Amino acid sequence: MEANKKQTNAIFLDTWAKGRFDFTPDEYDALYAIAMQRPVLGGCGVYSARVMLGVEAEQMDSYRLRNPESNDNSAPLIGKIYPNPAKDEAYFDYQLKDGQKGTVYVYSFTGQLLFGKDFNSENNRLVISTADFNNGLYFYRIIVDKAVVANEKLMIIK
């Protein structure tokens, strides 16, 4: 448990704390190995690894973790939020098949949920008001039919 905590903290300090949000293959492999552990055996480092990889606990069995910098296209990307950087509004254009449902979430740098909105196949655009957001780095997650299809960064510059 202590080794997992030390390793995830070291990776955090070498990446996110310095404003670098991509991982080297070694960093990714280490986080992946920790994230796949059961928290009762792996300790709080398991949760840290999952946060850094952008996965939820319920996805551990149904969603294959992948390095977002890799060329593995096994998880489709529905769309991206733009413009990025955004000012007062950002847009999410998407296309879903009939009956598909999704949710987009925007989180602060510290992981606080700031925005969440469901979307479906009836529309093709979602407007996200960022007028109340401060300048800085945010993260967004797009989930379609209970599967994470995107974990990306969003900059707000006013």
Q: Where are the domains of the chain?
A: 2-59, 81-156
Higher pLDDT, 86 or 22: 86
100-157 confidence digits (pLDDT tens):
899 999 998 778 899 999 998 888 889 999 999 999 889 898 988 888 888 888 999 9
> Which residue type is seen at 101?
K
The pLDDT of residue 14: 93
The pLDDT of residue 57: 58
Average pLDDT over residues 76-93: 82
**Distant-in-sequence, close-in-space partners of 137: CB < 8 Å, separation ≥ 6:** 19, 109, 153, 154, 155
SS3 of residue 144 by DSSP: strand
Residue 66 — very low, low, confident or very high, per pLDDT cuts 50/70/90?
Answer: very low
Reply yes or no on whether the pLDDT at 89 is more than 90.
yes
The pLDDT of residue 73: 41
Continuous segment of H or E residues that includes residue 39: helix 39-42
The residue whose two tokens read 């009762």 is 40
- Cβ atoms of 79 and 92 within 8 Å: the answer is yes
146-158 confidence digits (pLDDT tens):
888 888 889 999 8
CATH superfamily to which 81-156 belongs: Immunoglobulins (2.60.40.10)
10-19, 52-61, 77-86: least confident range: 52-61
Reply yes or no on whether the pLDDT at 70 is more than 60.
no
The pLDDT of residue 75: 40
